[in-house]
Structure 1
Amino acid sequence: MVDTLLRLQEEWGMPPISAEVADVLRKVPRHVFVPEVSLEDAYATDYAPPVQRTGDGLITSSMSAVRVQAMMLDQAGLGPGMRVLEIGSGGYNAALISELVGVGGEVTTIDIDPEVSDRARRYLDEAGYKDVRVVTGDAEYGVEAFAPYDRIIVTVRAWDLPPAWTAQLTDHGRLVTPMRLRGVSRTVGFDRVGDHLASRPDHHLTVFVPMQGAGAHEERGIAVQGDDIALYGAEEPVDVAALRNSLHGPRKEFWPGIEFTYPDRLHLWTAAHADRYAMLHVAGDVLEHGPSGPLARQPVPVVLADDGSVAVRTKRSLGDGRFEIGVFAYGPRGQDAAQNYIDVLRAWDRHDGSMARIEVWPSGTPDADLPTNRVRVLDKPHTRTVLAWP
């Protein structure tokens, strides 16, 4: 598993996992924590074995793919003697953390589902990690009894960051969490800076199951075409019938001569810089046989315009593994949406490709106290999240 992971990271041009994380991945028996799957699946680098499902089959808890776990452990920068809180239990990741912090460290893992936490306790004991604390409770409030923590690692997707997580960090603590930023998912390593959090330059595109409990947030989509096409994150009323008609009508293609680079970073750039923005989700069979021909792979950021018009990002091969970004325009004002989208893409092309700086401030923080180079501020009940670029 570890050798495969290292080889794939080299092939993909990604930074290799640290020697410390590679060592503990080789040591902790992953299959003990998912006995219901085959050894092949347990040790696959990009498979997230389901742990808990609802009655209708929806996955509510899973063991993260080892590639993602390794990345997050390196983001956390764990060391001997640290006190760590893990939010979202499976057992295996807590065992990895326990190995990294050593006998002088402390590991607490919490899950809202008693079946999941009981399972984690059982398999941690079986694997020899009896010192890991397992707590059943709502992680919206952290685990104050064992705070402060040098590190908090969140293994569920957070729509908002509750105040308890920052409050329970040490003054120089670090929080690693998946979060939702205008429809874009990123796993971000934050350092605590006084009363707010500032991102480190190594956040990544990932997918996690959403939080349950007080921090749960249901993202309601707008059904455009049954279960085939849906729009998420639109911040203005949408004329669904007009949008559906636009997608079934003629389209115009625009190819501004921009090469497709850093696609995951471009998602967040678009989300921050486009005003009339949403995410388009398209069923697999509609991708190649859409109402007006092939659509971009889902989900994809789109730019909206009046009269149900929309611009959708796409790409085409240039050969040698290179791609050009294009924009498909639908509807009577589709060209306006496409021009707005192209302006965003050209600004990206002029940019150096560096990561966004993400800062999370308490709700109620005055605009005057936020960074002056901000591109967009996302206001949520607990926080004001600032997106900026160098």
Structure 2
Amino acid sequence: MTTVRNSEDFSPALRAAMVGELRELGAITSAPVAEAVSKVPRHLFVPGQPLEAAYAIDQALVIKRDEAGTALSSLSSAHIQSVMLEQADVQPGMQVLEIGSGGYNAALLAELVGEEGAVVSLDIDPEITERARACLDTAGYEQVKVAVGDAEHGLPDEDAFDRIIVTAGAWDIPPAWRTQLTPRGRLIVPLRLKGITRTIAFERDDQTDDGGDAGVLTSVSYLLSGFVAMQGDGEHHEHVIVVGDDESWGLRVDDGAPDFDVQALREALDHPPLERWSGAVFDMPDELELFLVTSGPQMVMLHARQSLVDQGVFDASAGRGVPVLVRGDSFAYRIKRENAELGGFESGVIAHGPHAEQVADEYADLLRRWAHQHRRRGAATIRYIPAGAAHSTPPHHPIPKRHGTVSVTWR
């Protein structure tokens, strides 16, 4: 394999190739985003990295780690950045707030808003903002404003923004983001829901069921994503209920999950596994995963160590993380197998415990319901309902947050 030297002579060709790849994958769908990605020299925002790494479409590059080696800041992959820009639909002349400063994404936004627009990039870490400022200046984007502050509180000295784009994993949507959004504005945020993350493009939907103004946000699109977690007052640590010995397996419960009988679940694994096949096609795993985890409070994420997968204690899906349905002393999770009649794969269930039959049947019914009624992109509508909002129709299976509630409905 030929290695490209770290020379700017190669960067225009690499940018053009990157845009071509992103177009083929559907990450770039509009001419303005393609033009912005073609112009901004991505390698200047990761000095010291080889050009191949800077222009790899699916590679996130860590900017800063803590003492334990955990990433605190990173330059997201070109793929996810392009998709988020398409979600944002940034227009010339807009005022844009970026939360999380790497520099490169702010430069792309500056290209999209043009000379009449404005971009502010906000980060809680002065070291990151200083670095972003230096990279932006080197690349010729002095017009981008870089600010230090806790994103939980927004930018109170600034006017409202047409777009707020969050480039860090958020567990909640603070009131400041809603209040600083213009009436026709759009918020793009990687939001964690029950142990998974989806980047959601929200718009205001201020007309409640009772005709009032509640500041409700309704999704216009969403996609699978993963980001470095938010720091500061909006920080939220994930909660893992350890079930197996030596933390070998457990349940990830981010959003007010009910108490589980850990001892009963540990004993459930001693029961022989019950395997059941749904007859439903398995595809679009990210859409299916979202459907499953939002189907009720007893559905959370199961994670098992690879050693247990290798021993045959759990299916491979548990090693990657899979929605698990817990009913008292029994639980069930999703598996898959090849099925030529379905043209690919079939979804199924493995259940453990004294009531494995019942929980397997319930899970299989969910798999069939998704396959028959909701098997398509964008079938979910995600709403964020601020605390105190009055709605005559309560959210179905609400996901509680600090400042409000998330509701997911399926069309």
- Scaled to the shorter chain, the TM-score interval is over 0.9
SS in 1 for 2:369: helix
Q: Partners of 1:60 and 1:123 in 2: how far apart?
A: 18
**Residue 59 of structure 1 aligns to which amino acid in structure 2?**
A
Give TM-score, length-normalised by structure 1: 0.92
Q: Partners of 1:134 and 1:363 in 2: how far apart?
A: 31
Counterparts of residues 289-304 of structure 1 (less than 5 Å): 289-291=311-313, 294-304=316-326
Q: Conserved in 2, the CA contact under 8 Å of 1:249 and 1:292? A: no
Which residue number in structure 2 is paired with residue 364 of structure 1? 388
Instruction: Give the drift of 1:40.
Output: 1.3
Instruction: Give the drift of 1:6.
Output: 4.3
**Residue 92 of structure 1 aligns to which amino acid in structure 2?**
Y
Instruction: Give the drift of 1:297.
Output: 4.5
**Residue 228 of structure 2 aligns to which amino acid in structure 1?**
V
Once the two structures are superposed, residues 55-98 of structure 1 have per-residue CA deviations (whole angstroms, 9 ceiling, x without a partner) of 01011111111100000001000111000000000000000000
Q: What number of residue pairs does the alignment pair up?
A: 383
Instruction: Give the drift of 1:174.
Output: 0.5
Q: Partners of 1:144 and 1:189 in 2: how far apart?
A: 22
Which residue number in structure 2 is paired with residue 69 of structure 1? 81
Of 140-149 and 233-242, the range deviating more from structure 2: 233-242
Instruction: Give the drift of 1:384.
Output: 1.9
Q: Which of 228, 238, 263 is 2:285 aligned to?
A: 263
SS in 1 for 2:85: helix
Structure 1 residues 2 and 249 mapped into 2: Cα distance closer, same or farther (>3 Å)? farther
Q: Conserved in 2, the CA contact under 8 Å of 1:89 and 1:109? A: yes
Q: Which of 390, 394, 403 is 1:382 aligned to?
A: 403
Q: Partners of 1:260 and 1:94 in 2: how far apart?
A: 38
Q: Partners of 1:311 and 1:236 in 2: how far apart?
A: 17
Once the two structures are superposed, residues 327-383 of structure 1 have per-residue CA deviations (whole angstroms, 9 ceiling, x without a partner) of 00112122222111112112112214342111112102234166xxx5322222211
Q: Conserved in 1, the CA contact under 8 Å of 2:121 and 2:145? A: yes
Instruction: Give the drift of 1:238.
Output: 2.3
Once the two structures are superposed, residues 98-135 of structure 1 have per-residue CA deviations (whole angstroms, 9 ceiling, x without a partner) of 01101111000000011111110111111111111100
Instruction: Give the drift of 1:323.
Output: 1.0
Asked whether 1:343 is paired with 2:365, we answer yes
Instruction: State, as a whole percentage, how many aligned pairs show the same letter.
Output: 43
Asked whether 1:35 is paired with 2:47, we answer yes
Structure 1 residues 57 and 359 mapped into 2: Cα distance closer, same or farther (>3 Å)? same
Q: Which of 195, 209, 216 is 1:196 aligned to?
A: 216
**Residue 406 of structure 2 aligns to which amino acid in structure 1?**
T
Q: Partners of 1:152 and 1:8 in 2: how far apart?
A: 23
Asked whether 1:222 is paired with 2:246, we answer no
SS in 2 for 1:84: strand
Counterparts of residues 105-116 of structure 1 (less than 5 Å): 105-116=117-128
Asked whether 1:212 is paired with 2:226, we answer no
Q: Partners of 1:284 and 1:384 in 2: how far apart?
A: 34
Of 151-160 and 336-345, the range deviating more from structure 2: 336-345
Asked whether 1:355 is paired with 2:400, we answer no
Q: Conserved in 2, the CA contact under 8 Å of 1:259 and 1:324? A: yes
**Residue 388 of structure 2 aligns to which amino acid in structure 1?**
G
Once the two structures are superposed, residues 37-68 of structure 1 have per-residue CA deviations (whole angstroms, 9 ceiling, x without a partner) of 22111111111100111101011111111100
Q: Conserved in 2, the CA contact under 8 Å of 1:365 and 1:384? A: no
**Residue 82 of structure 2 aligns to which amino acid in structure 1?**
A
**Residue 220 of structure 1 aligns to which amino acid in structure 2?**
H
SS in 2 for 1:173: strand
Q: Partners of 2:52 and 2:17 in 1: how far apart?
A: 14
SS in 2 for 1:174: strand
Structure 1 residue runs of 5 or longer lacking an equivalent are none
Q: Partners of 2:374 and 2:400 in 1: how far apart?
A: 27
**Residue 70 of structure 1 aligns to which amino acid in structure 2?**
S
Q: Partners of 1:15 and 1:58 in 2: how far apart?
A: 28
**Residue 289 of structure 1 aligns to which amino acid in structure 2?**
Q
Which residue number in structure 1 is paired with residue 90 of structure 2? 78
SS in 2 for 1:375: coil
**Residue 29 of structure 2 aligns to which amino acid in structure 1?**
I
Q: Partners of 2:22 and 2:337 in 1: how far apart?
A: 25
Q: Partners of 2:143 and 2:23 in 1: how far apart?
A: 33
Which residue number in structure 2 is paired with residue 139 of structure 1? 151
Q: Partners of 2:343 and 2:318 in 1: how far apart?
A: 17
Structure 2 residue runs of 5 or longer lacking an equivalent are 1-14, 207-214
Structure 1 residues 213 and 300 mapped into 2: Cα distance closer, same or farther (>3 Å)? same
Q: Partners of 2:301 and 2:365 in 1: how far apart?
A: 18
